[in-house]
Amino acid sequence: MQGEPEVAVLRLGHRPGRDERMTTHVGLTARALGADRAILAGDASKSEGTVADITDRFGGPFEVELTDSPKAVIRDWAGRVVHLTMYGERIQDVETTVRECHADGEPILVVVGSQKVSFDVYEAADWNVGVTNQPHSEVAGLAVFLDRLFEGRELDREWTDADQTVVPRATGKKVVPADEE
Amino acid sequence: MQGEPEVAVLRLGHRPGRDERMTTHVGLTARALGADRAILAGDASKSEGTVADITDRFGGPFEVELTDSPKAVIRDWAGRVVHLTMYGERIQDVETTVRECHADGEPILVVVGSQKVSFDVYEAADWNVGVTNQPHSEVAGLAVFLDRLFEGRELDREWTDADQTVVPRATGKKVVPADEE
């Protein structure tokens, strides 16, 4: 988020034709819950387009990009790397340390896999973190991790250059042009 | 969770062949993050089977079932109904009230849609709640909602009748038979 060290989300293992929705949801969740950037590995141009389109309509700042070299992204990251995996240490045991590193100025790269993640990612990460040690969803794990990293501040972030804004309502839907907010 | 009023998750709008993975992730997220039951509307037997299989292997208690009458499930719910939607009130504004109702003994039904949710669901819900008013993922919204409803207690829940257990590790994977934990 603005005024904080960068938080980026790296999505590994995208399989075109199979993973479009999951990868899109990873990207949209990263954007909605306070990350600054999503980096999608492999041929994920369709998901990239959807995330960019949402950013155009609902605001930023948020970047989405593709990479053919996810391992280089991890290796060259100038900060700390968190790999979310059901095999990792419990989030409740490591979140304070990660939060302190981020507060001390360290950019955080959050790595989320798809089906199978190679062992060198486990070794390259500063922390392997489990949002529970149960099998569920990389999207759910990312969401809980970001909400805890930012301690809810992401829910109050402001959006710039939006075309439209949703106005919270008890019932029904209200969407207004962004400049009428 | 055991010893608390029931929390169930109702998944609306499943489209066979398109939504299998999203619906499965909704069910697995419900299980992993403290809900007692997932109710899947429509022909979601494939997702139901996957969630039941994970429960067999990694433990419960957790129930997953199908319904052809999601509106009856909402209408007949003996407790409070929360509908997660990007158009709803901000979670940070309503979560305390929902939590208090649950602590006072009210079962909670959490309704998550797919693409489009009909207006009578908005009207039938006690609260329409937005985990941000941004478009992202029903799985992410559900995850953050449950983590906040339970205030992290779900991360410490115990599992019974598991075949296998993942042991948290800083690096690598360790899975043991459940009775050797």
DSSP string covering chain B: -TTS--EEEEE----TTTSHHHHHHHHHHHHHTT-SEEEEESS-HHHHHHHHHHHHHH-BS-EEEEES-HHHHHHT-SSEEEEEEEEEEEHHHHHHHHHHHHHTT--EEEEE-SS---HHHHHH-SEEEESSSS---HHHHHHHHHHHHTTTGGGG---BS-SEEEPP-SSS--EEEGGG-
Nearest to B87 among A141, A159, A173 (CB): A173
pLDDT of B180 strictly over 70: no
Nearest to A134 among B22, B32, B141 (CB): B32
pLDDT of A2 strictly over 80: yes
The residue in chain B having the minimum alpha-carbon distance to the alpha carbon of residue A23 is B137
Structure token digits, residue B29? 């997220």
Q: Which residues of B touch A53 (CB under 8 A)?
A: none
- Average model confidence (pLDDT) for chain B? 96
The residue in chain B having the minimum alpha-carbon distance to the alpha carbon of residue A59 is B134
Q: Which residues of B touch A110 (CB under 8 A)?
A: none
Could you list the residues of A known to form a binding site, using ranges: 84
pLDDT score, position A180: 62
What does the pLDDT average to over B103-122?
94
Provide the 10 A C-beta neighbour count for residue A63.
16
pLDDT of A116 strictly over 90: no
Pairwise CA distance, residues A29 & B157, whole Å: 26
Per-residue pLDDT reduced to its tens digit, B46-82 = 999 999 999 999 999 999 999 999 999 999 999 999 9
> Are the C-beta atoms of residues A99 and A67 closer than 8 Å to each other?
no
Nearest to A103 by CA among A150, A37, A61: A150
Nearest to A122 among B25, B166, B171 (CB): B171
pLDDT of B181 strictly over 60: no
Range A115-152 burial, b when 16+ CB lie within 10 A, else e: eebeeebbeebbbbbbbbbbebbbbbbbbbbbbbbbee
Show which of residues 24-43 on chain B sit within 8 Å of chain A, judged by CB atoms. Answer: 25, 28-29, 31-33
- Among B131, B155, B156, the strongest candidate for a mutation testing the A interface, having the largest count of A CBs within 10 A, is B155
What is the CATH superfamily name and number for domain B7-180? SPOUT methyltransferase, trefoil knot domain (3.40.1280.10)
Show which of residues 140-179 on chain A sit within 8 Å of chain B, judged by CB atoms. Answer: 140-144, 147-148, 152, 154-156, 159, 165-175
pLDDT score, position A87: 97
Nearest to A139 among B122, B132, B139 (CB): B139
Pairwise CA distance, residues B159 & B59, whole Å: 5
- Angle, vertex CA B157, rays to CA B154 and CA B159, nearest 5: 135
pLDDT score, position A54: 98
Please state, for a pLDDT cut of 70, what percent of chain B lies above it. Answer: 99
Could you list the residues of B known to form a binding site, using ranges: 84
Whether residue B137 and residue A123 make contact (CB cut-off 8 A), yes or no, is no
Whether residue A155 and residue B90 make contact (CB cut-off 8 A), yes or no, is yes
Per-residue pLDDT reduced to its tens digit, A42-95 = 999 999 999 999 999 999 999 999 999 999 999 999 999 999 999 999 999 999
ipTM above 0.90 for this complex: yes
What does the pLDDT average to over B24-43?
97
Whether residue A170 and residue B88 make contact (CB cut-off 8 A), yes or no, is yes
> Are the C-beta atoms of residues B142 and B112 closer than 8 Å to each other?
yes
Read off the amino acid at residue A20.
E
Of the pLDDT bands very low, low, confident and very high (cuts 50, 70, 90), residue B115 is confident
Show which of residues 63-122 on chain A sit within 8 Å of chain B, judged by CB atoms. Answer: 86-93, 119, 122
> Are the C-beta atoms of residues A29 and A142 closer than 8 Å to each other?
yes
Per-residue pLDDT reduced to its tens digit, B134-160 = 999 999 999 999 999 999 999 999 999
pLDDT of A3 strictly over 90: yes
pLDDT score, position B114: 80
Nearest to A143 among B21, B140, B170 (CB): B140
| CB of A135 less than 8 A from some CB of B | yes
Per-residue pLDDT reduced to its tens digit, A121-174 = 999 999 999 999 999 999 999 999 999 999 999 999 999 999 999 999 999 999
pLDDT of B104 strictly over 70: yes
Pairwise CA distance, residues A99 & A92, whole Å: 12
- Per the listing, tokens 């410490």 go with B156
Whether residue B58 and residue A134 make contact (CB cut-off 8 A), yes or no, is yes
Pairwise CA distance, residues B134 & A102, whole Å: 24
CB neighbour list of residue B136: distance below 8 Å, 6 or more residues apart: A25, A28, A29, A31, A32, A33, B86
Provide the 10 A C-beta neighbour count for residue B100.
10
According to the 3-state scheme, what is the secondary structure of chain A?
Answer: CCCCCCEEEEECCCCCCCCHHHHHHHHHHHHHCCCCEEEEECCCHHHHHHHHHHHHHHCECCEEEEECCHHHHHHCCCCEEEEEEEEEEEHHHHHHHHHHHHHCCCCEEEEECCCCCCHHHHHHCCEEEECCCCCCCHHHHHHHHHHHHCCCHHHHCCCECCCEEECCCCCCCCEEEHHHC
Could you list the residues of A known to form a binding site for S-adenosyl-L-methionine, using ranges: 84
